[in-house]
A = this chain, B = another copy of it.
Amino acid sequence: MSKPTTPRTGIWLVGARGGLATTAIVGTLATTRGLCEAHGMFTETQDADGIGVPPLDSLVFGGHEIRSGSLWDAALEIYRETGVLRHDFLLELRDDIDAVDENIRPGTVLASGQRITSFADDVVEVANGREAVARIRADLAAFRERHDLDAIIVANVSSTEPSIEPSEATHDLAAFEAALEQPDCGGLRASSLYTYAALQEGCPFVNFTPSPAALVPALRDLADSRGLPYMGNDGKTGETLVKSALAPMFRYRNLNVMSWQGYNLLGDRDGEVLADPENRESKVRSKDEVIPGILGYPVHTHVGIDYVPSLHDQKTAWDFIHFRGFLDVKMSLQFIWQGIDSILAAPVLLDLVRFAELARRRGESGSMTHLASYFKSPLDTPEHDLHYQFHALIDYVRACRDEARTSGEAKKPSTTKRRP
């Protein structure tokens, strides 16, 4: 018996029947079946050709979910609400969707906060964090086994959690592990448990959410000691993406931005979770640091997130930018962004897990700062300017391609950030 020539990569999604995960799974199936183009993924462009990320059709999906119901129902609900998962595609992909559903396991809501817990109706009851971690690890191991996977990348795509208070448990691995013994995990959050389990199973980790608990210092130390790559936080997919593309223009021209007001309207579960001030805080902080970060001076900014149920995830954002030019004359730029959050986020998620697998294969560990362009609050880099961030990605990609050409995959590019 010979192994298949293309190694198969597992993609384990925490929040596996949420809008983003469902869209990523269905979209991957539709794209590999040729039902649609491969738009949205940088990894599918000529610019990223030949660098060695795993092909789309080598990805196997699974994950954890805290709500009952099937992946098929989740997909159908998206069709009904916004139509972005086409009904004719779904009918054609039904068997494949059901097959993925068999890889989805009940998750944990230990320490997720009131709002998220109120959604959950399919969770594993556990006595403490250690038990929860054990279940998660067992699920990952079974997934690897069942599908004969070369590797598993774990990505957190669940709802935004409340903030986490810094403590010994968040900063020291031994204290972290001690906290797992407590019924309330000693101030840790559910996302901390998933990351811990993933790393202990040897899986690279991507935090697509703003939830800060997923990558506390103790967990980053664990990743380093295990030699695993990881990155976060908070996928940059919509209004903030546009902001970080536009703001540099004002700097180039010495146009003084007096006010940058941003209003985000959205109506899906994400919007409902963010309607809770406790959960919104993580998000707004993440969105609000971009403009002053790029311009280099304090700006009167406002980031509003309002829940408009009729929109579902058809995000509509209005930004009003008031600036001063020559002779102190005031002028303005407004933009209106009408994007489907899941449609924008899903291919970014796919880019990220594919880059994470590439990093793993290349033996890189630590924070993957070359992926900063994908995040609202990228780790280990103060740079918010989308263009500098992207040029860094291009440098990385070129280095990968050069090495792939010369020596297989022997050397690592010098631009990759590694924590000491």
Contact = CB atoms under 8 A, between A and B. Distances in A.
Contacts of A338: 331-334
Interface string A213-242: 000000000000000000000000000011
Q: Counting chain B CB atoms within 10 Å of each CB, which of A79, A87, A254, A302 scores highest? A: A254
A284 interface: no
A245 B249 contact: yes
The list of the 7 closest CB pairs from A to B, nearest first, reads A40-B326, A87-B87, A258-B310, A387-B387, A245-B249, A83-B83, A335-B335
B386 A252 contact: yes
Interface in A229-274: 241-242, 245-246, 248-249, 252-256, 258-259, 261, 263, 265
Contacts of A241: 249, 253
A329 B31 CA distance: 12
A311 B318 contact: no
A261 B308 contact: yes
A245 B26 CA distance: 33
Interface string A333-352: 11111111001101110000
Grouping DSSP codes into helix (H, G, I), strand (E, B) and loop, the A interface class, with mixed when no group exceeds half, is: mixed
A245 B242 contact: no
Contacts of A306: 261, 302, 304
A335 B317 CA distance: 11
A26 B328 CA distance: 13
A291 to B, nearest CB: 14
Interface in A148-187: none
A294 interface: no
Nearest to A337: B333
Count this chain's copies in the assembly.
4
Nearest to A250: B245
B326 A42 contact: no
Interface string A308-319: 111100001010
A333 B387 contact: no
A320 B314 CA distance: 13
B316 A344 contact: no
Given A37-B324, A326-B39, A387-B387, A334 B336 contact: yes
A253 B42 contact: yes
Contacts of A310: 258-259, 300, 322, 324, 330
A142 interface: no
A128 B302 CA distance: 42
B331 A340 contact: yes
A344 B332 contact: no
B322 A308 contact: yes
A254 B325 contact: no
A89 B80 CA distance: 11
A85 interface: yes
Interface string A124-153: 000000000000000000000000000000
Contacts of A320: 265, 308, 316, 318
A30 interface: yes
A201 interface: no
Nearest to A389: B252
A327 B255 contact: no
A36 interface: yes
Contacts of A120: none
A102 to B, nearest CB: 23
A41 interface: yes
24 contacts: A36-B327, A36-B328, A37-B324, A37-B328, A38-B254, A40-B253, A40-B254, A41-B326, A42-B252, A44-B254, A79-B88, A241-B249, A242-B333, A253-B344, A263-B304, A300-B309, A316-B320, A318-B320, A325-B343, A326-B344, A331-B338, A333-B336, A333-B339, A334-B338
A85 B327 contact: yes
A121 to B, nearest CB: 26
Contacts of A5: none
A265 B258 contact: no
